[in-house]
Chains A and B, each alone.
Chain A
Amino acid sequence: VLLIEDSRHFQNLVTLLVRQQFPEVALHVADDGIAGLLLAGQLQPDVLLVDILLPGIDGAALITSLRAHPAFGACGLIVITSLHGEGLAPYRHALLGVPVVHKPMVVSELPALLAAALAALASPAGRAP
Chain B
Amino acid sequence: VNGVQTPPAARPRVLLVEDDAALRKLVALVLEVLDIELVSCANGADGLAELRAAPVHVLITDLMMPGLSGYDLLQALADAPALRGTARVLVCSAGLDARARARLALLGAWRMLDKPVSVQVLEDCVREALRLSALDASAPEPASGVGEHDEAGAEQAVISQYFAGQTALFAAYRADCLLQFAHDLQTGDRALAARDAPAVQRLAHNLKSVLRMLGREAAAAQAKALENAAARADWGEMAPGWDGLRRQLTRWALPAPPPVPG
Contact = CB atoms under 8 A, between A and B. Distances in A.
Interface stretch (B38-46, B127-135, B170-178): B170-178
Nearest to B201: A53
B210 interface: yes
A20 B206 contact: no
B205 to A, nearest CB: 7
Given A7-B206, A17-B169, A107 B180 contact: no
A8 interface: yes
Contacts of A108: 162, 164
Interface string A12-34: 11001100100000000000000
Interface string B179-197: 0100100000000000000
Interface residues of B, number: 20
Interface in B149-182: 161-164, 166, 169, 172-173, 176-177, 180
B217 to A, nearest CB: 12
B163 A55 contact: no
Contacts of B172: 16
Given A8-B183, A9-B176, A12-B173, A107 B212 contact: no
Contacts of B176: 9, 12-13, 16
B57 interface: no
B182 to A, nearest CB: 11
Interface residues of A, number: 18
A103 interface: yes
A102 to B, nearest CB: 9
Given A9-B180, A12-B176, A55 B202 contact: yes
B202 A13 contact: no
A17 B168 CA distance: 11
A105 interface: yes
Contacts of B248: none
**What does DSSP make chain B's interface, helix, strand, loop or mixed?**
helix
Specify the main secondary structure of chain A where it touches its partner.
helix
B180 A104 contact: no
Given A8-B180, A12-B180, A108-B162, A103 B169 contact: no
A105 B164 CA distance: 9
A82 interface: yes
Nearest to B162: A104
B205 A82 contact: yes
Nearest to B203: A7
Nearest to B211: A9
12 contacts: A6-B206, A8-B183, A9-B176, A10-B209, A17-B169, A82-B205, A82-B206, A82-B208, A104-B162, A104-B209, A107-B163, A107-B169
Interface of A: 6-10, 12-13, 16-17, 20, 53, 55, 82, 103-105, 107-108
Given A13-B173, A16-B169, A82-B209, 18 more contacts: A6-B202, A7-B206, A9-B177, A9-B180, A9-B206, A10-B206, A12-B176, A12-B177, A13-B176, A17-B169, A53-B202, A53-B205, A82-B206, A82-B208, A103-B213, A104-B161, A107-B163, A108-B164
